[in-house]
Amino acid sequence: MGQLILNDFYLKLVYEKLLILVNFNSAEYYKNIYLLLKLIIPITRIISLNGGFCVNPTKWGLSNLIVVLGLYLLFSVIIFPNFEYIINSDGISYINIATNYLNGHIFQAINGYWSPLYSWLLVPFIYIWPGNLENVISTKILSIIIGLFTFIAISSILTKLSMDNYQKTITLLALLPFMLYFTFNYISPDFLVVCTLLYYMNFLMDERYRKTWLMGILTGFLGVMAFLAKSYVFFFFLIHFMVVNLFYVEKFSRDRKTIQKNFLLGLSVFLVISGLWVGMISEKYGTITIGTTGSYNYALAGPNSSGHPIFSQGLIKPPHEFSTSSWDDPSCFHINKWNPFKSTQNFQHQIRIILGNLYDLILLSFNLMFIPFFTIIMALFLFFKTDKESIKNNLVIILGTMLIYLSGYLIILVEERYLWFVLILSIILGFYTLNMLYKERYLMKKIYVSLIIVLILCLAFYPISLLHSYSGACSGAYMVSMDLKSHGIKGNIASNDHWEIMDYFGYYLDDQYYGITGNKSSLELRRDLDLYQIDYYFIWDESLPGDSLGEIVYKNQYFRVIKVR
């Protein structure tokens, strides 16, 4: 097929596609990007001449990983301006926690709901580049760095799966749209969880795990890093680490002693380091806990739940003076806990939750053109057809990991970003399975190539469409916040609606947002505003009167701001 070189025609094609994908306003910006693309021509030609970026499978090497990383960085730079304002309430909480660590407010920074690792990693960025908008932009820069390390981890896993360099590069390129989507769509530690767990899988799948005790320490350390990124990983690690080690003992009995030693070392490292964090949050909240996220979300799904307290319990005072809103520590919310085994009705409710989560999982798979389901079916077919133990072992590890990780969320709540780790594993599994089916001669070359193309196209559609829909989001919230700040709106704020947008305003204004008042009479409303010492009340409905509350100090087409005191 010859060499694939990034010539001028190819660059113009990429340039035109980018114009369609994202909608920037500055034509000058695109000219600069086009010039930047032209600058990489000599580099790609050098790689091509050395067998790096060509279609010959035997000549692909480390240079191709560098090209993929370069493309990821390049696309990140190109689309960055249209995603720099994206913010969410979870992200505000992580930023505030990082700021508290930086300012020495350690007690306030220790948080049972929001795991600490993401905020710890944000601290250097906030120190170097302070400012509310700058902090939001820093989360995107951190995500890009996480993405680079994630690509390296995936490449290493593909090597352990005996995929040649050509197949590895195709897989990495196919993952590029999803990696960009993970980077820019949401401020959360979920991408960090994906990264740390992939490195954990790397060491666990390494043949040296059965030969040297050092691998046990590394797997335990990476497991605890993933736990510090998200508390859900605590029980996942304990179950998964034990199951995989039992599987290894069964399959590689000659290495039993080393495997057992690595299991004990890994478990010890995990429990000792995680125990330090568990001790701190348990001391703060007065009860032994690995984190309050799981118990909160499970209570939220209970049969008598009225939903998030921020939407149902009226005004709620932020947990401390450095908080933007009560969402900075949901551990403080009063929400009824429940037990599925306490009554028949509760157990039936639990079954309905699982069925509902399975339905949501099917919808997510539909958005992905049912690629995960087809991948699993192909993997099972290969498992029962092949006689090679190495292939079977790889399939068991990947499929087992997906099942264990998914099971916990099915009991409580399924959200797309919670399953990014499973999604990445399913994509890796898809390319690995097709590769092995072709090598084992279960697929003809034409069918193999066709399926690879279909897989790549299907994987590209969903993340690219979401990137397009999120393009330019949240910029309005920042602009309005700056307009509010210019009108001197500063203090305790509340509103009758639109909790999340108001949380953004509170963050950018350095105000404290007490939440939404709900439907109340004028007397009840005045009493609550006085009780919580609200300075400004935002009314998002033109039909609602507000004159009796105070003076209108700001008004636009969406809301009015009443100065209450």
Range with lowest mean pLDDT among 56-65, 111-120, 511-520: 56-65
Residue 354 has a CB neighbour count (10 Å cut-off) of 14
- pLDDT tens-digit profile of 122-151? 999 999 999 999 999 999 999 999 999 999
For residue 138, give the amino acid letter. Answer: S
Q: For residue 253, what pLDDT is reported? A: 87
Residue 547 has a CB neighbour count (10 Å cut-off) of 9
Give the pLDDT band (50/70/90) at residue 200: very high
CB of 515 closer than 8 Å to CB of 493: no
Distance CA 215, CA 522 (A): 65
CB of 395 closer than 8 Å to CB of 446: no
Q: Please report which helix (H) or strand (E) contains residue 543, including its range.
A: none
Range with lowest mean pLDDT among 10-19, 360-369, 394-403: 10-19
Distances (CA, A) of 446 to 280, 432, 450: 58, 17, 6
Helix/strand/coil for 540: coil
Q: Considering the chain, what percentage of its residues have pLDDT values greater than 70?
A: 88
Distance CA 98, CA 215 (A): 31
Distance CA 227, CA 222 (A): 9
pLDDT average, residue stretch 326-338: 90
Distance CA 506, CA 491 (A): 9
Name the H helices within 313-388: 344-367, 371-385
Helix/strand/coil for 246: helix
Helix/strand/coil for 562: strand
Assigned token pair, 455:
């897989």
Distances (CA, A) of 124 to 95, 139, 295: 12, 11, 31
Assigned token pair, 441:
């001669």
pLDDT average, residue stretch 372-391: 93
Q: For residue 23, what pLDDT is reported? A: 44
Distances (CA, A) of 512 to 11, 466, 521, 551: 49, 32, 24, 20
Strands (E), 351-501: 492-495
- pLDDT tens-digit profile of 156-181? 999 999 998 888 999 999 999 999 99
Structural domains of the chain in order of their starting residue, each with its CATH number: 1-179 (no CATH), 475-563 (3.40.190)
Give the pLDDT band (50/70/90) at residue 61: low
Q: Considering the chain, what percentage of its residues have pLDDT values greater than 90?
A: 68
Could you write out the three-class secondary structure of 171-219?
Answer: HHHHHHHHHHHHHHCCCCCHHHHHHHHHHHHHHHHCHHHHCCCHHHHHH
Cα atoms in the Cβ-side hemisphere of radius 13 Å centred on 484 = 30
Q: For residue 304, what pLDDT is reported? A: 86
Residue 518, C-beta contacts closer than 8 angstroms, at least 6 positions apart: 312, 314, 496
Q: For residue 74, what pLDDT is reported? A: 95
Closest C-alpha among 518, 486, 474, 519 to residue 499: 518
User: Using CA of residue 440, residue 446, residue 447, residue 449, what is the dihedral sign?
Assistant: positive
Strands (E), 17-161: none
pLDDT average, residue stretch 250-266: 93
CB of 505 closer than 8 Å to CB of 492: no
Q: Please report which helix (H) or strand (E) contains residue 536, including its range.
A: strand 536-539
Give the pLDDT band (50/70/90) at residue 550: confident
Q: Please report which helix (H) or strand (E) contains residue 500, including its range.
A: helix 499-509
Query: Above 70 in pLDDT, residue 25?
Result: no
Q: For residue 368, what pLDDT is reported? A: 84
Phi and psi at residue 499, to the nearest 5°: -60, -50
Assigned token pair, 363:
């919808």
Looking at per-residue confidence, does 62 or 73 come out higher? 73
Supply the mean pLDDT for the chain. Answer: 87
Distance CA 33, CA 177 (A): 19
Residue 116 has a CB neighbour count (10 Å cut-off) of 20
Query: Above 80 in pLDDT, residue 296?
Result: yes
Query: Above 60 in pLDDT, residue 183?
Result: yes
Give the chain's radius of gyration (CA, Å): 26
Query: Above 60 in pLDDT, residue 290?
Result: yes
User: Using CA of residue 63, residue 65, residue 66, residue 72, what is the dihedral sign?
Assistant: positive
Closest C-alpha among 290, 303, 397 to residue 346: 303
Assigned token pair, 43:
């580099």
Overall residue count recorded for the chain in this entry: 565
pTM equals 0.88
